[in-house]
Amino acid sequence: MNAPLARPLVFHRPGDSELARRLRGVVQGEVLFDRASRGRYSTDASIYQVEPIGVLIPRSDDDVRAAVEICRELGAPMLPRGGGSSQCGQTVGAALVIDGSKHLRNVIAFDKEAMTVTVEPGITLDALNAWLRPHGVWFAVDVSTAAQATLGGMAGNNSCGSRSIAYGNMVHNVAAAEALFADGTEGWLGPEREMQGAGERVRALMTGLRAIAERECDEIERQVPKVMRRVGGYNLDVFHPQSERPYTADGSVNYAHLLVGSEGTLAWTRTLTLKVAPLPKHRTLGVVSFPTLYKAMELTKHIVTLGPSAVELVDRTMIELARSNPSFRPTIDGALVGEPDAILLVEFTGEDGETPRRRLDDLVALMGDLGLPGQVVRMPDAGPQKALWEVRKAGLNIMMSMKGDGKPVSFIEDCAVPLDHLADYVARLTEVFERHGTRGTWYAHASVGTLHVRPVLDMRRDGAAKMRAIAEEAAAMVRQYKGAYSGEHGDGLVRTEWVGWQFGPRLTRAFEEVKALFDPDGLMNPGKIVRGTKMDDARLFRYPPGYTPLKLDTALDWSAWDVNCDPVTEAVTAPGSGNDPAKGFAKAVEMCNNNGHCRKFDAGTMCPSYRVTRNEEHLTRGRANTLRLAVSGQLGPDFASEAVREALDLCVSCKGCRRDCPTGVDMAKMKIEFAFHWQKKHGLSLKDKLVAHMPKWAPWAARFPFIANLRDALPGAARLSERIAGLSAKRTLPQWRSDTFLSSRAAQAAAVDRPDVVLWVDTFNNYHEPENAHAALRVLQAGGYRVAVARAGASDAERDRPLCCGRTYLGAGLVDEAKHEARRMVDALAPHVAAGATVVGLEPSCLLALRDEFLVMGLGDEAQHLATRALMIEEFLAREQREGRLALPLKSLPQKKVLVHGHCHQKAFDVLNPAVAVLKLIPGLQVEVIESSCCGMAGSFGYEAAHYDVSMKMAELALLPAVRAAGDDTLIVADGTSCRHQIADGTRAIRPREAVHVVRVLASALDPVA
Ligand SMILES: Cc1cc2nc3c(=O)[nH]c(=O)nc-3n(C[C@H](O)[C@H](O)[C@H](O)COP(=O)(O)OP(=O)(O)OC[C@H]3O[C@@H](n4cnc5c(N)ncnc54)[C@H](O)[C@@H]3O)c2cc1C
Ligand code: SF4
Ligand code: SF4
């Protein structure tokens, strides 16, 4: 077993417990000083890891005030934090982290006339824009992390969006700010002309700042890059504007702009007043294909003269990545002319439709004049435009999902160079990468000369040396081209060292004076922008040289992650060749790069528990970090620790992350692995045993259903079950039936020799809702298929017991028992598969286990073959229909509308669309999908007393309100057993609604006379 990593900044000083104690005494918010919480806040989207002293999640402004007071008295540093999506290490440090993103997220005031909105710092850009939309305006600094970036964080980093050429950076859009300084004083910072009434503290600041700026006037003129995208250092140039786009329209001074880009080093930002813009009424997009990347970059400067709102680059690698994805291929192919080496997405907006259309014509003409006639694809409609922007985003995500120790590293990702030099910069930097045995993919904001590129480096080995060498060469070019070394992402730990390089010793000293004016004791986010560490100080790395995970005997096969990847060719070595002592599990966990994409509340599934609690601990990122710390011994020598169990407790294994996480972090699978180690060490509770072994005792329950169902019939029995087994008394349990499907005459009769289809009926549908299985059989037979019903094989020692996927065992970590069930399934179905039959199932979490968990259980080739032929019934029917082999005799139903709730696994495996497609076969039926995350029941999760509240909150996020709003003429469809149960439970009190399996709707629409 390896020793925990030695890190220089692991703080647990004598004063820390005093800090925690005093905070707990006064604040209403959460005070987190335990090792795992500190670990979860020790990283952001950078390569660094520094353990904070502790974490405060303030519930109110008063909590922050109290914390500042206590920190000042104890001399403890403070670190403001929002979504923690910074790429440069701004939000990691040995300080008290104050995370405003959970509670401090209100809109305080909106002034439509002045076109301003005032917000608390923790609100995200998406949330703000959702609030503003009904007023016809938006906040236009459209960072690509809009779902997780908080306005406090965006101001802290002086963030910039894709449309900055039209709207500017944060600094151009912040009108005023209220600050809380480290000495406990407060002040309003805004336009100088409105600050006559400022208090003593702010007046002193104003005088001091002006004096420094006057003194350094000539040096500011000499050293501050003139490009718009300059976000490094402090904005001392507010007094002598240097940016090609002045911070204010009339060049006047706004003191709030000193806080913008200050990375939490000057003050806590209490509120921000922001300028809003009218929502563009019309957009149009022209996609220009270029024969070379060089040409694209060379001609960008001509394109921007047309006044576009965005010019975004997508290079060849990204084009190919997008084309390799079947769902993106049509979109990207439709945007290309021939086989370009790069494309530029050129967007125009306008109040009327005519202006953007004319601009698009101008673009076509311009490209002709520049020697590229016929190279523009016009996209005037919103649908294709949106699809193409999605492709661009997804391309980046695929790039980030590189397996192995080498990863694309962000450190020169946002250098900004004047457009005249963009082409040369790209060409020369590409050569630099080649010389260092790596390469980068280019994308993003060509319009403002800020191209994103991340060379692939292995920070555990020679990455640090290469990083410095590449950084130095890139910096020399940036200087030569009079660009900005930090053009979007800020300084943080990776670039504070370069502030002196960029601005020279005089301005560096001036910045230190600015810091001293605001924060004389150096308590606010120390080590950022001034007095920093070296970018390649390996002691601060998340993966320092020598980083080694613990040895772990894994239950599942993680060898697909245990590989290495060539940074240039991207060739991946054989599974299991990556030297991971945790047999690939550690490398799977390390796929989380902390980008924070899981902190979202949009239409996707990920992450239901975070959506309810808003706690980092209950976020996919928080869980991945907890596992990473545990598997590398940083939470102690024991992997199966309580800290990990707690972090995973509210994970409903929905697999939302498997689909929505850009790097495919599959927490549901990781939870199985952890549960295996946990139960080995700690054993199982009665409830876990009861649920896990259900496939074994189900036949007995079906034989004596009146006894098995007593829990819900006998007064007091439910409460007793809560006390003894932890099953919530507020829940009814699924009822056991003696008329199981497998014992029915229909099932017995369905025994054909060479079936086209084998209907496998899972434990839940067999014992609790056999009508679903009957409906499936009827539909398949009506489709003209020869159907067999899956049963245990002849050599199976438990021949009479129905087949089961083992899902309940997996949930409890009983992987060996689950493997036994899986083996029975594979053995029973292999002959059918070999004969070419398709296996269809009804319950998403059970059937899809055949395509997922079965493949990491070491079940061999037969399991692989089975996976290729295992389909949800709707997938099978939709496929047959598409290929012209299905003609179900369907008549219209009395109900004209159906609302579909997708089971999480259905969504994770993209199986919801087939359900919609088959429902649309019913004449006159209008099909609508509920934009819901997990229903909250998630197998046995919602039945547990400890999870009941969270479970109901998950359901109330979107699902139950949508169901309640549905009229009586609307059918509710849900394929998941537990989803149906949750809908029944959640609507029982007022207007009970029953959800049905999709196959029941199809069966009821079968025309008996056809
Ligand atoms: C995949 C990816 C894509 C990205 N795309 C973009 C992009 O398009 N454009 C862009 O500009 N950036 C981008 N970023 C960087 C990052 O998302 C942005 O800088 C974002 O605005 C940070 O917001 P946050 O809430 O996560 O802030 P955090 O990272 O939490 O904090 C940022 C800084 O603000 C300070 N801060 C936070 N709250 C306060 C407060 N209340 N008072 C004082 N200081 C505070 C912090 O101390 C820190 O220094 C991207 C990052 C990733 C991982
Ligand atoms: S789990 Fe995925 S989405 Fe969340 S931070 Fe990690 S990589 Fe990003
Ligand atoms: S499986 Fe679901 S609940 Fe668990 S981390 Fe992933 S998205 Fe969140």
Q: How far is the CA of 657 from the centre of ligand 2 (A)?
A: 8
Q: How far is the CA of 101 from the centre of ligand 1 (A)?
A: 12
Q: Which helix (H) or strand (E) holds 872?
A: strand 870-872
How far is Cα 743 from Cα 770, in angstroms, rounded to an integer? 10
Q: How far is the CA of 610 from the centre of ligand 2 (A)?
A: 13
Please tell me the number of the ligand nearest to residue 647's CA. 3
Output the pLDDT for position 2: 39
How far is Cα 128 from Cα 133, in angstroms, rounded to an integer? 9
Q: Is 314 in the pocket of ligand 2 (CB under 6 A)?
A: no
Q: If you average pLDDT over residues 277-285, what whole number do you get?
A: 95
Q: With cut-offs at 50, 70 and 90, classify the pLDDT of residue 1.
A: very low
Q: Whose CA is nearest to atom 2 of ligand 3?
A: 654
Tell me which DSSP letter residue 484 carries: B
Q: Whose CA is nearest to atom 8 of ligand 3?
A: 607
Q: How far is the CA of 85 from the centre of ligand 1 (A)?
A: 5
Averaged confidence pLDDT in the chain: 94
pLDDT of 480 strictly over 60: yes
Q: How far is the CA of 152 from the centre of ligand 1 (A)?
A: 8
Q: How far is the CA of 209 from the centre of ligand 1 (A)?
A: 25
pLDDT of 662 strictly over 90: no
Output the pLDDT for position 398: 66
Please tell me the number of the ligand nearest to residue 908's CA. 3
Q: Whose CA is nearest to atom 2 of ligand 2?
A: 661
Q: How far is the CA of 534 from the centre of ligand 1 (A)?
A: 21
pLDDT of 3 strictly over 50: no
How far is Cα 956 from Cα 609, in angstroms, rounded to an integer? 12
Q: How far is the CA of 904 from the centre of ligand 3 (A)?
A: 10
Q: How far is the CA of 587 from the centre of ligand 2 (A)?
A: 14
Q: Whose CA is nearest to atom 7 of ligand 1?
A: 143
Output the pLDDT for position 1010: 58
Output the pLDDT for position 441: 85
Ligand 1 pocket: which of 40, 104, 105, 145 to mutate (most atoms within 8 A of CB): 145
Q: Is 100 in the pocket of ligand 1 (CB under 6 A)?
A: yes
Atom of ligand 3 nearest to the CA of 623: 5
- Cα–Cα distance list, 9 to 12, 459, 477 (Å): 9, 19, 34
Q: Is 667 in the pocket of ligand 3 (CB under 6 A)?
A: yes
Contact 407, 542 (CB under 8 A): no
872 has which bridge partners?
A: 841
Ligand 3 pocket: which of 40, 607, 904, 941 to mutate (most atoms within 8 A of CB): 607
Q: Is 597 in the pocket of ligand 2 (CB under 6 A)?
A: yes
Which residue type does 676 have? Answer: F
Q: With cut-offs at 50, 70 and 90, classify the pLDDT of residue 475.
A: very high
Q: What tens digit of pLDDT does each residue of 927-979 get?
A: 999 998 899 999 999 999 999 999 999 999 999 999 999 999 999 999 999 99
Which residue reads 């480290």 in tokens?
182
Nearest to 609 by CA among 648, 569, 577: 648
Q: What tens digit of pLDDT does each residue of 904-929 get?
A: 999 999 899 999 999 999 999 999 99
Ligand 1 pocket: which of 150, 167, 451 to mutate (most atoms within 8 A of CB): 150
Contact 871, 839 (CB under 8 A): yes
Q: How far is the CA of 847 from the centre of ligand 1 (A)?
A: 41
pTM for the model:
0.95
Nearest to 140 by CA among 310, 301, 358, 263: 310
Contact 137, 238 (CB under 8 A): no
Question: Which span out of 437-441, 534-538, 566-570 was modeled with the highest average pLDDT?
Answer: 534-538
How far is Cα 701 from Cα 202, in angstroms, rounded to an integer? 74
Q: Is 672 in the pocket of ligand 3 (CB under 6 A)?
A: no
Which has the minimum average pLDDT: 79-83, 403-407, 536-540, 666-670?
403-407
Q: Is 607 in the pocket of ligand 2 (CB under 6 A)?
A: no
Q: Is 997 in the pocket of ligand 3 (CB under 6 A)?
A: no
Q: If you average pLDDT over residues 405-412, what whole number do you get?
A: 91
Q: What tens digit of pLDDT does each residue of 28-39 get?
A: 999 999 999 999
Q: Is 190 in the pocket of ligand 1 (CB under 6 A)?
A: no
Q: Is 212 in the pocket of ligand 3 (CB under 6 A)?
A: no
Q: If you average pLDDT over residues 868-881, what whole number do you get?
A: 98
Task: Kindly tell me the burial class for residue 25, based on how many C-beta atoms sit within 10 Å of its own C-beta (0-12, 13-18, 19 or more).
Answer: exposed
Q: What tens digit of pLDDT does each residue of 784-828 get?
A: 999 999 999 989 999 999 999 999 999 999 999 999 999 999 999
Q: With cut-offs at 50, 70 and 90, classify the pLDDT of residue 7.
A: very low
Q: If you average pLDDT over residues 546-562, what whole number do you get?
A: 96
Q: How far is the CA of 606 from the centre of ligand 3 (A)?
A: 6
Q: With cut-offs at 50, 70 and 90, classify the pLDDT of residue 5.
A: very low
Q: Is 91 in the pocket of ligand 1 (CB under 6 A)?
A: yes
Q: How far is the CA of 87 from the centre of ligand 1 (A)?
A: 8
Q: Whose CA is nearest to atom 1 of ligand 2?
A: 621
Q: Is 400 in the pocket of ligand 2 (CB under 6 A)?
A: no
Q: How far is the CA of 83 from the centre of ligand 1 (A)?
A: 7
Q: What tens digit of pLDDT does each residue of 63-113 get?
A: 999 999 999 999 999 999 999 999 999 999 999 999 999 999 999 999 999
Q: Is 995 in the pocket of ligand 2 (CB under 6 A)?
A: no
838 has which bridge partners?
A: 757
Q: Is 668 in the pocket of ligand 3 (CB under 6 A)?
A: yes
| Cis ω before 661 (30° cut-off from 0) | no
Q: Is 607 in the pocket of ligand 3 (CB under 6 A)?
A: yes
Atom of ligand 1 nearest to the CA of 144: 8
Q: How far is the CA of 952 from the centre of ligand 3 (A)?
A: 16
Output the pLDDT for position 323: 83
Please tell me the number of the ligand nearest to residue 954's CA. 3
Q: With cut-offs at 50, 70 and 90, classify the pLDDT of residue 394.
A: low
314 has which bridge partners?
A: 343, 443
Q: With cut-offs at 50, 70 and 90, classify the pLDDT of residue 4.
A: very low
Output the pLDDT for position 1009: 66
Contact 160, 450 (CB under 8 A): yes
Q: Is 154 in the pocket of ligand 1 (CB under 6 A)?
A: yes
Nearest to 639 by CA among 628, 648, 630: 630
Q: How far is the CA of 790 from the centre of ligand 3 (A)?
A: 31
Output the pLDDT for position 984: 97
Please tell me the number of the ligand nearest to residue 600's CA. 2
Q: Whose CA is nearest to atom 48 of ligand 1?
A: 263
**One-character DSSP codes across 389-416:** HHHHHHHHHHHHT--SS-EE--SSTT-B
Q: How far is the CA of 151 from the centre of ligand 2 (A)?
A: 21
Helix, coil or strand: residue 588? helix
Q: Which helix (H) or strand (E) holds 315?
A: strand 310-315
Q: What tens digit of pLDDT does each residue of 14-27 get?
A: 557 899 999 999 99
Q: How far is the CA of 149 from the centre of ligand 1 (A)?
A: 6
Q: Is 600 in the pocket of ligand 2 (CB under 6 A)?
A: no
Q: With cut-offs at 50, 70 and 90, classify the pLDDT of residue 531.
A: very high
Output the pLDDT for position 8: 40
Q: What percent of the chain has pLDDT over 70?
A: 98
pLDDT of 505 strictly over 60: yes
224 contact partners, CB below 8 Å, separation of at least 6: 230, 233, 236, 237, 242, 503, 507
How far is Cα 364 from Cα 353, in angstroms, rounded to an integer? 17
Q: What tens digit of pLDDT does each residue of 291-304 get?
A: 999 999 999 999 99
Q: How far is the CA of 958 from the centre of ligand 3 (A)?
A: 17
How far is Cα 285 from Cα 439, in angstroms, rounded to an integer? 30
Atom of ligand 2 nearest to the CA of 400: 7
Atom of ligand 2 nearest to the CA of 619: 4
Q: If you average pLDDT over residues 636-656, what whole number do you get?
A: 96
Please tell me the number of the ligand nearest to residue 396's CA. 1
- Cα–Cα distance list, 654 to 352, 613, 973 (Å): 44, 16, 18
Q: What tens digit of pLDDT does each residue of 172-186 get?
A: 999 999 999 999 999
Q: Is 496 in the pocket of ligand 1 (CB under 6 A)?
A: no
Output the pLDDT for position 1007: 82
Q: How far is the CA of 629 from the centre of ligand 2 (A)?
A: 15
Q: Which helix (H) or strand (E) holds 347?
A: strand 342-350
Q: What tens digit of pLDDT does each residue of 104-152 get?
A: 999 999 999 999 999 999 999 999 999 999 999 999 999 989 999 999 9
Output the pLDDT for position 12: 53
Q: With cut-offs at 50, 70 and 90, classify the pLDDT of residue 397.
A: low
How far is Cα 612 from Cα 232, in angstroms, rounded to an integer? 36
- Cα–Cα distance list, 659 to 388, 394, 623, 669 (Å): 19, 12, 16, 13
Ligand 2 pocket: which of 594, 607, 654, 669 to mutate (most atoms within 8 A of CB): 594
Q: Whose CA is nearest to atom 6 of ligand 2?
A: 592
Q: Is 231 in the pocket of ligand 2 (CB under 6 A)?
A: no
Give exposure, 708-741, as e/b (b: 16+ Cβ within 10 Å).
bbebeeeeeebeebbeebbbbbebbbbebbeebb
Q: Is 598 in the pocket of ligand 2 (CB under 6 A)?
A: yes
Contact 133, 146 (CB under 8 A): no
Torsions phi, psi for 288 (to 5 deg): -100, 130
Nearest to 542 by CA among 634, 610, 455, 418: 634
